[in-house]
Amino acid sequence: MTAIAPRREDDSLQLKPRRDPFLIILWIILVTFALVWIAPVVLIAFTALKSNAEVMATSAFTPPQEIAWNNFSGAWARGNFETTFKNSVIITVIKVPLGLMFSAMAAYALARIRLRFGKLLLLFFLFGAMIPFQVMLAPIFTLVNGFGLIDTYPGVILPYLAFGVPYQVFILHGFFKAVPKELSEAALIDGASHVTVFRRIFLPISLPVLAALLILDFVSTWNEFAMALVLLQDRHMWTLPLGLMSFQGQFSTDYGQLNAAIAMTVFPAVLVYMIFQRYFVSGLTSGAVKG
Amino acid sequence: MFNSKFMQSSRTQALLLIGPALAVYATFAIWPMIEVVFLSFQHWNGLDPHREWVGLENYRYILTNDAVFWVALRNTITWTILAVIFPPTIGLLLALGLNQQLFGRVPMRAIYYLPVIIAPIAVATIWRWMYDPFFGLFNQVLTSLSLQSLISDWLGDREIALYSMFVAYTWQYVGFSMVLFLAGLQSVDRSLVEAARIDGASRWQVFRHVTLPALRVTLAIVLVLSTISSLKAFDIVYGMTGGGPAQSTQMLALWAFMQSMQIFDFGRGSAISVILLLVTLTIVVPYLRWSQRDEGAGE
């Protein structure tokens, strides 16, 4: 009897969370809410796969009867997706790794090398993370125009780098600062340079954080609209968001194709998110928001 | 690896490491911020080689003659207040819920975060279509529920267009606050929560006295980021209403852009930018000072 009693207590403690009516109600609320939240996405997916006749004839959340794949090819051709997709890929593939590299290097130096103005410099970077560039579209245009870089890849990549660096430096600095001294000091005493320590020790251990930042940066670069609108005037240089905006203006009544265009614009970012998402919350937790 | 004196000086190495980031940041982010202040004191159409200094004329014009500016200012303030209240509150509630051991919490987190990944301009396109007065989802649903009296021209009615837009914005950004709060919740001491529960504290008491204090830093970060991202509201307004109908949903960032890049009055556009920049700084600078002091105390 005495042997069993405490065990029962344990059991009841363990089972309690499952039977808790509070949690059941909570679960129902969260699921209902989630269904509402995902409804627009389902709507896009369904409509993108319906012919226009079917869009008109059926209700919004009826799954497509005959899958109209030709919405995708139609939107691809009419919306000039070949060009805009290529431009978006080129800009993102250059900007994201380069920006992470620059930020990681700077964050390492600011966190790990004693500098007279180190703290001030960090504050200077941090400041940029707080300033919305949407406020300064005109002077950015003037500057890039002054360099003769309007309608070029560098003309949009350089400002993207500039506005991506501050936040990444901030996050990575927090992470590097928390790395125990023992890890780098031995190597430094043995005569390794900071560049080596950064490359051989700090880069490998910061991979989860870098993966989280990669998602954030990929998504924001891929989706960026305002700066591209100002800096890329020639439609041969347009990125996907600009192309989508123009598509909406011209073919807004072709619902099937419009939704196919939306889906094609959004899909790569969703894919990258799904691939790297297991690093996402853990990566951000380790750097940014430690209590 | 060359072992010269050059590489060994840690100052030189620091310079090499910081150099690229600093150069690109100073040139393409900080310089435009200084330039916009110069531009705001000039009269310029963006092309003319000659820029004329006009002192405070641009500011005088905006503050006294530009009715749209005041509408934009009011809308920006309304938008910011809403953006600081609603998405963070809903995000916090979701994070608290999805931090429990619940069936399917991982896919649910993904669903709530999904809109954050979608391009704002695509969100604008989606919602514009859902708000369509004739073919849109909302009016269809209202019709099928026999609630015809509630049918509206969601983006065409000046009284409600701003709020319709804000609903779309909330849909997009709730997941962002949620993820930050979820990250913050991982730092809440579990044993403390359990001890409090065993001692008979109610859920509300645990939240009020254990969870909330632990979320203090996260809360500050979320609120500041929400404020800043609300001031950035550009894509969604540009894509949904373009500031209309009759400028009733105009915002400062968009109005600054239109003045400079569409009306080609860089001076007035820049003056609007400077005003918005000043608003931003009054929020950002106190936060930076607070966070620096906080870090100093933590060390």
Express as a percent the part of chain B with pLDDT over 70: 95
In this structure, the answer to whether residues A144 and A215 fall within a common structural domain is yes
Between A81-112 and B10-25, two packed helices, what is the crossing angle to 10 degrees?
Answer: 150
Which residues of B fall within a CB distance of 8 Å from A177? Answer: none
Residue A225's Cα: distance from chain center in Å? Answer: 14
Residue A166 near residue A128 (C-beta atoms within 8 A): yes
What does the alpha-carbon distance between residue B28 and residue A134 come to, in Å, rounded to a whole number?
A: 13
In this structure, the answer to whether residues A278 and A176 fall within a common structural domain is yes
How high is the pLDDT of residue A3?
42
Residue B162 pLDDT > 50: yes
Which residues of B fall within a CB distance of 8 Å from A110? Answer: 18
Out of A68, A95, A128, a domain closes at A68
In a domain, A88, yes or no: yes
Of A23, A43, A106, the CB nearest to B100: A23
In the numeric block, the tokens 């989606």 are attached to B126
In this structure, the answer to whether residues A117 and A47 fall within a common structural domain is no
- Per-position pLDDT tens, chain A of length 291: 344 444 444 444 444 455 688 888 999 999 999 999 999 999 999 988 988 888 877 877 888 888 888 889 888 988 889 999 999 999 999 999 999 999 999 999 999 888 888 888 998 998 888 888 888 899 999 999 999 999 999 999 999 999 999 989 988 998 888 888 887 888 888 888 888 888 888 888 888 888 888 888 999 999 999 999 999 999 999 999 999 999 988 887 788 899 999 999 999 988 888 887 777 666 655 544 433
In this structure, the answer to whether residues A241 and A125 fall within a common structural domain is yes
CATH number, residue A158: 1.10.3720.10
Q: Which CA distances in Å does A94 have to A273, B81, B111?
A: 18, 37, 29
How high is the pLDDT of residue B8?
56
Question: To probe the interface with A, which of B17, B203, B221, B293 has the most A CB atoms within 10 Å?
Answer: B17
Which residues of A fall within a CB distance of 8 Å from B215? Answer: 291
The domain of A49 spans: 17-68
CB burial readout B122-141, b (16+ within 10 A) else e: bbbbbbbbbbbeeebbbbbb
In this structure, the answer to whether residues A155 and A28 fall within a common structural domain is no
Q: What is the mean pLDDT of residues B266-271?
A: 92
Q: What is the mean pLDDT of chain B?
A: 87
Of A37, A139, A262, the CB nearest to B122: A262
- A4–chain B nearest CA distance, Å: 21
In a domain, A128, yes or no: yes
In a domain, A241, yes or no: yes
In this structure, the answer to whether residues A100 and A193 fall within a common structural domain is yes
- A229–chain B nearest CA distance, Å: 10
What pLDDT digit, counting tens, does each position of B225-237 carry? 888 888 878 899 9
Q: Across the interface, do B217 and A143 touch by the CB < 8 Å criterion? A: no
Q: Across the interface, do B288 and A123 touch by the CB < 8 Å criterion? A: yes
Q: Across the interface, do A225 and B277 touch by the CB < 8 Å criterion? A: no
Which residues of B fall within a CB distance of 8 Å from A34? Answer: 108, 111-112
In this structure, the answer to whether residues A95 and A43 fall within a common structural domain is no
Q: Across the interface, do B102 and A265 touch by the CB < 8 Å criterion? A: no
Residue B120 near residue A223 (C-beta atoms within 8 A): yes
Instruction: Pinpoint the alpha helices (H) of chain A.
Output: 5-19, 21-48, 52-57, 70-78, 81-112, 118-130, 137-146, 153-177, 182-189, 194-197, 203-205, 207-223, 226-231, 240-251, 255-276, 280-287
User: Taking CA atoms, what residue in A is nearest to B49?
Assistant: A146
In this structure, the answer to whether residues A142 and A206 fall within a common structural domain is yes
CA nearest neighbour of A255 among A118, A39, A75, A92:
A75
Identify any residues that bridge with B43 across adjacent strands, giving them in sequence order: B52
| Cα-Cα-Cα-Cα dihedral sign, residues A105, A108, A111, A112 | negative
Which residues of A fall within a CB distance of 8 Å from B24? Answer: 102, 158, 161-162, 165
CATH 2.60.120.920, applies to B59-298:
no
Decide if the complex's ipTM is over 0.90.
no
Q: Which CA distances in Å does A248 have to A41, A53, A96, A100, B278?
A: 17, 19, 28, 33, 35
In this structure, the answer to whether residues A90 and A178 fall within a common structural domain is yes
In a domain, A158, yes or no: yes
In this structure, the answer to whether residues A57 and A154 fall within a common structural domain is no
> Three-class SS of residue A19?
helix
> At B146, is the pLDDT very low, low, confident or very high (cuts 50, 70, 90)?
confident
Q: Across the interface, do A102 and B20 touch by the CB < 8 Å criterion? A: yes
In this structure, the answer to whether residues A114 and A64 fall within a common structural domain is no
* Complete DSSP assignment for A130-190: HS-GGGGHHHHHHHHHHTT-TTSHHHHHHHHHHHHHHHHHHHHHHHHHTS-THHHHHHHHT
- A71–chain B nearest CA distance, Å: 16
* Count of A-B CB contacts under 8 Å: 287
The tally of domains found in chain A comes to: 2
In a domain, A248, yes or no: yes
Which residues of B fall within a CB distance of 8 Å from A125? Answer: 21, 25
How high is the pLDDT of residue B247?
87
In a domain, A74, yes or no: no
In a domain, A9, yes or no: no
Least confident of A92-101, B237-246, B280-289: B280-289
What pLDDT digit, counting tens, does each position of B176-209 carry? 999 889 888 887 888 888 888 888 888 888 888 8
User: Taking CA atoms, what residue in A is nearest to B127?
Assistant: A40
Which residues of B fall within a CB distance of 8 Å from A280? Answer: 179
In this structure, the answer to whether residues A55 and A88 fall within a common structural domain is no
Instruction: Pinpoint the alpha helices (H) of chain B.
Output: 5-8, 10-25, 31-39, 57-65, 67-98, 105-117, 120-130, 137-144, 161-185, 190-198, 203-206, 212-214, 216-231, 235-240, 252-257, 266-298
In a domain, A2, yes or no: no
Residue A163 near residue A221 (C-beta atoms within 8 A): no
